[in-house]
C-alpha cells in the first residue's frame, strides 16, 4: 500500500514536471515565434525602404540621363549657333560691301548727272527754243540767255525776261533736267543763305549797340570805309561794263546793217549769227550791272544804318 502510494506520488510528480516542462517549452516557442515575427516585420520594413530608395534612385538616374542628353543637345546647338553666327557675319559683310558699292555708284551717278545737267544748260545758252506750247505763238523762237533751277532767262524783241519753271514746256524741262525738287532745294538754299546773312548782320549790329564804346565806333568807321571801297569798286566795274556794252551793241548794229545789205543767204546768216552773239554778250553784261546796282543799294542801306549808330563828334 505504501509502495503504491509512493509510486503514485512519483508518477504524479513526473506528470506535473512534464506538464511544467511542456509549458515552459511552449512559452519559449511563443517567444521565439514572436522574435521571428518581429524580425520578419523588420525585414518587410527594410524591404519597403529599400524599394523606395531604389525607385528614387531610378528616378534620379532618369533625370541625370535627361540632363546629360540635354547637355549633349546644348553642345550641338552651340556648335550650330557658332556656324550660324559665322554665316551671319559673312552675310553682314557682304551686305555692307553691297551697300558701300551702291552708295559709291549712286554718288558717281549723281556727279555724272550734275555734270551733264550743267553741260546741257550751258550749251543751250544763245540758242533758240520754242515756248509756244505754254506761252503762245509769240514765244515760238526765243533766245536763251541763262538757265537756273527756277527759270529760264530769254531775249525777245521787247527785251530780256524770265520764264518760270511752271511755264516751261515739259519737253524742254526734261531736256534741261529741271524739276520741282531741284527748284525747291534751290529756293531753300537761297532762304537759308539769306537767313544766315541776316543773322550775321544782326549779330554784328547788336555787337555795336553800345555807341559809347570806342572799339564799337572804330568798328563802325572801318565798316563804313569798307562799304565805300566796295561801292567804288562795283561802280568802277559797272562803268567798265557800260563801255563794253556800248562796244558790243555797236558791233551788233554793224552786223545788222551788214545783214540788210548782204546779197547772199550765207552772208545774211553769218551777219544774223554775229549780231545775235554780240547782243547776247551785251545783255549778259547788262544783267551783271543790274546785279551790281542791287548790291550797291543794299550797301547804301547798311551805310545809313551805321551812320545812325555813330556818336556825333564834339
Q: How would you write the pLDDT of the chain (314 residues) with one tens digit per residue?
A: 555 556 666 556 555 555 555 455 455 555 556 665 666 666 566 666 767 767 777 777 777 777 777 767 767 776 777 776 777 777 777 767 667 666 666 566 677 778 888 888 888 888 888 888 888 888 888 888 888 888 988 888 777 888 998 899 999 988 888 888 988 988 888 888 888 888 887 877 776 555 557 777 888 888 899 999 999 999 999 999 899 999 998 998 999 898 888 888 888 888 888 888 988 888 888 888 888 888 888 888 888 888 887 766 64
d(CA 53, CA 56): 5
Specify the residue for cell string 524599394. Answer: 51
Q: Which residues of 205-233 are buried (b: 16+ CB within 10 A; e: fewer)?
A: eeebeeeeeeebbebbeebbeebeeebee
Contact 139, 132 (CB under 8 A): yes
d(CA 309, CA 303): 10
* Residue 192: how many other CB atoms lie within 10 Å: 10
CA–CA distances in Å: residue 41 to residues 31, 34, 45, 241: 15, 10, 6, 133
**Helix (H/G/I), strand (E/B), else coil: 176:** coil
Quick one: pLDDT at residue 207? Answer: 65
Look up the pTM and report it. 0.39
Identify the burial level of 263 via C-beta atoms within 10 angstroms of its C-beta, where 0-12 means exposed, 13-18 middle and 19 or more buried: exposed
Amino acid at each position: 500500500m505504501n509502495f503504491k502510494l509512493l509510486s503514485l506520488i512519483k508518477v504524479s510528480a513526473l506528470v506535473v514536471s512534464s506538464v511544467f516542462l511542456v509549458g515552459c517549452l511552449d512559452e519559449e516557442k511563443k517567444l521565439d515565434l514572436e522574435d521571428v515575427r518581429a524580425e520578419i516585420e523588420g525585414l518587410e520594413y527594410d524591404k519597403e525602404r529599400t524599394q523606395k530608395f531604389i525607385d528614387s534612385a531610378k528616378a534620379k538616374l532618369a533625370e541625370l540621363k535627361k540632363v546629360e542628353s540635354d547637355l549633349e543637345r546644348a553642345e550641338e546647338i552651340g556648335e550650330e549657333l557658332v556656324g550660324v553666327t559665322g554665316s551671319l557675319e559673312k552675310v553682314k559683310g557682304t551686305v555692307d560691301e553691297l551697300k558701300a558699292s551702291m552708295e559709291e555708284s549712286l554718288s558717281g551717278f549723281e556727279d555724272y548727272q550734275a555734270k551733264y545737267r550743267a553741260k546741257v544748260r550751258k550749251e543751250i545758252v544763245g540758242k533758240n527754243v520754242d515756248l509756244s506750247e505754254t506761252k503762245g505763238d509769240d514765244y515760238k523762237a526765243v533766245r536763251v540767255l541763262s538757265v537756273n533751277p527756277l527759270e529760264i532767262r530769254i531775249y525777245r524783241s521787247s527785251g530780256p525776261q524770265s520764264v518760270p519753271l511752271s511755264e516751261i514746256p515739259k519737253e524742254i524741262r526734261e531736256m534741261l533736267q529741271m524739276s520741282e525738287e531741284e527748284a525747291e532745294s534751290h529756293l531753300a538754299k537761297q532762304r537759308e543763305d539769306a537767313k544766315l546773312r541776316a543773322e550775321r548782320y544782326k549779330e554784328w549790329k547788336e555787337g555795336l549797340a553800345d555807341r559809347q564804346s570806342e572799339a564799337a565806333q572804330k568798328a563802325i568807321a572801318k565798316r563804313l570805309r569798307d562799304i565805300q571801297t566796295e561801292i567804288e569798286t562795283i561802280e568802277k566795274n559797272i562803268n567798265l561794263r557800260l563801255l563794253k556794252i556800248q562796244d558790243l551793241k555797236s558791233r551788233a548794229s554793224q552786223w545788222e546793217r551788214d545783214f540788210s545789205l548782204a546779197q547772199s543767204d550765207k552772208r545774211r546768216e553769218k551777219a544774223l549769227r554775229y549780231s545775235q552773239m554780240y547782243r547776247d554778250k551785251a545783255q549778259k553784261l547788262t544783267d551783271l550791272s543790274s546785279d551790281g546796282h542791287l548790291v550797291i543799294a543794299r550797301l547804301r542801306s547798311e551805310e545809313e544804318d551805321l551812320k545812325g549808330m555813330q556818336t556825333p563828334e564834339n
